[in-house]
Structure 1
Amino acid sequence: MKINFRKIGRRLLRFAAFIVVLILCGYIFLYIKQERFFFNPKILPKDYTYSFDQPFEEINIAVEDDVNLNALLFKTDSVSKGLILYFHGNAGAIHEWGERAYLYTENNFDVLFVDYRGYGKSDSFYEEESELYNDAQKIYDFALTRYDEKDIIILGFSLGTGFASYTAAKNNPKLLILEAPYYAWNEFIASMAPVPQALINYEIPSYKFLGEVKCPIRVFHGTRDFLIKPEEHSKRLKDLYPDKIERTLIKGAGHSVHLTKQYYDELKELLARY
């Protein structure tokens, strides 16, 4: 039987061309829709009713003329020591994130959770990185209408650590807490997905922002966080700013460090000092 190598070669070339086109189409689709993929928001109907085991106030924070961010403010039953401004992670919405409120109200702090654009009952969607920073500052400005700046702690988890770092850099809170922080968002996403870093619209360079932060910085990171790996992210941040960052590894914890007793004990001790 005679093998037609030329015909086989043409078929292989066509197949290779198909794969290349498929990959390029995937990149184009991902580039256009990356906010939905990388931010993974949970959308709630505007008439959604929140329900929690402790009292809360629902607030809408105007960040543009036609854009409001939905927020929940939980207050401690004790005399409040101030506010923890909480920038949450990339999934879900504040109907879930609000379940963490007790971690802070039990330590005599009020806590404000805010949904980003496209999350929960918040308006609009992000189209460019500058909108993230504008919103973060507007959220902080709102906090200043209720609390003295000397009584504000900024806390960021996962995705929110970049927003928290930016906000702390541009203002003067008394403490910045970062849980499972990344070095830079575009670098993190490129390491997680087969996407060229140049195609990622959002840099969110935490490592740059932290250089401008004037308040103490406390980092918590799980030793078994296989999503945002501590050696690749928080360790590099600590190495970059050894005198500014106090880093605590939560032994055996995954990405959600708040689920561990060590975190609760460390947080209680930390907040007692502030």
Structure 2
Amino acid sequence: MFSSHRFRILALFLVLLPFLCWAAAVGYIWSRQEKLLFFPEPLAPSHAFLAADTQEEWVNVPGARLHALHLRQPVVNGQRLTRGIVFYLHGNAGNVATWFTNADFWRRSGYDLFMLDYRGYGKSSGHIENEAQLLDDVIRAWQQVAPEYQGLKHVIFGRSLGSGLATYLATQVPTDLLLLVSPYTSIEAMAQTHYPWVPGAVLRYPLHTDRRLPDVKAKVVIFHGERDTLIPIGHAEQLQAIKPQAVLLRFPQAGHGDIHKLPAYTEALMAQLQSL
């Protein structure tokens, strides 16, 4: 037979057990956020990018060195034939080798393309530690490449994870066009969908596109697939409601990872680039 003291201890444990399980789960989310959000694929230092018009470049940031690809339009009779720069911020998996899949499209666009790998992605060194660091890295990369394009068009392009980074950048620097492909309102909102029991304060990467988008002065165009189950099109609809001047282009046949394969998407993207 249990003593009254042991019974009280057992009863207290049973009362506290749900809280202890919740606290342990929240602690796991806190400590493993980078593993849950970022899926980098490293590249060997010897990995070669063979296109003659695409150079590898490096951006020095505190504690790391970021790798990027820079496609440039040709020079004819000593004159560069470029309309400007597209500064491309990719999604949360892979590296520039997996995202740089349609170079001919960018050549036809008439724009140069600068595509950055975040810390730990591709040939980039270091590790992502928090949102402030990630945003600062993006600013530093922009500050390195933008002076080359004074007097030309500046386009900031963000896809999936990169859409939140691109929106932030567009609030900090002059730009002509912000292109958001499969964007989210915030990582915090997505976390609440998948982990509703996790307090927002636990997240080190809230990435509030919804709070920053109203401060963007440039034209904003949103591309989103209606079959996207990872970031449902409702996120894009909310962003357009927040920024009524934004153009929302819907693609009924597109999901999350295949939108770039649709001719309708590439045609719409080209039209927006040529509209400047």
Report deviation, 1:13. Answer: 9.6
Report deviation, 1:236. Answer: 0.5
Assess, with a 3 A threshold, how the Cα gap between structure 1 residues 252 and 11 changes in structure 2: closer, same or farther.
Answer: farther
In structure 2, stretches of 5+ residues that fail to align are 1-8, 76-80
- Is the CA contact 1:115–1:122 (under 8 Å) kept in the aligned structure 2? yes
- Is the CA contact 2:53–2:74 (under 8 Å) kept in the aligned structure 1? no
Assess, with a 3 A threshold, how the Cα gap between structure 1 residues 182 and 52 changes in structure 2: closer, same or farther.
Answer: farther
1:44-87 residue CA offsets vs partner (Å, 9 max, x unmatched): 23x231335563100110122x3211101112358211110000
Report deviation, 1:27. Answer: 2.8
1:163-213 residue CA offsets vs partner (Å, 9 max, x unmatched): 000001111111100001110111112313455133221111111211111
Specify the code of the residue in structure 2 equivalent to 1:251: P
Specify the code of the residue in structure 2 equivalent to 1:43: P
Report deviation, 1:252. Answer: 1.1
**Distance in 2 of aligned mates of 1:131 and 1:34:** 15
Assess, with a 3 A threshold, how the Cα gap between structure 1 residues 23 and 223 changes in structure 2: closer, same or farther.
Answer: same
| Residue matched to 2:56 | 58
Specify the code of the residue in structure 2 equivalent to 1:29: Y
**Distance in 2 of aligned mates of 1:82 and 1:124:** 30
Q: TM-score, normalised by structure 2?
A: 0.86
Asked if 1:72 corresponds to 2:69, the answer is yes
Over aligned residues, Cα RMSD in angstroms?
A: 2.4
1:167-178 mapped onto 2 (5 Å cutoff) = 167-178=169-180
Report deviation, 1:145. Answer: 2.9
| Residue matched to 1:4 | none
Match of 2:210 among 204, 207, 211: 207
Report deviation, 1:149. Answer: 6.0
- Is the CA contact 1:149–1:172 (under 8 Å) kept in the aligned structure 2? no
| Residue matched to 1:249 | 250
Specify the code of the residue in structure 2 equivalent to 1:236: Q
Tell me which moved more, 256-265 or 102-111: 102-111
In structure 1, stretches of 5+ residues that fail to align are 1-9
**Distance in 1 of aligned mates of 2:113 and 2:14:** 56
Q: What is the aligned-residue identity percentage?
A: 27
Assess, with a 3 A threshold, how the Cα gap between structure 1 residues 195 and 103 changes in structure 2: closer, same or farther.
Answer: farther
Q: TM-score, normalised by structure 1?
A: 0.87
Report how many aligned residue pairs link the two structures: 261
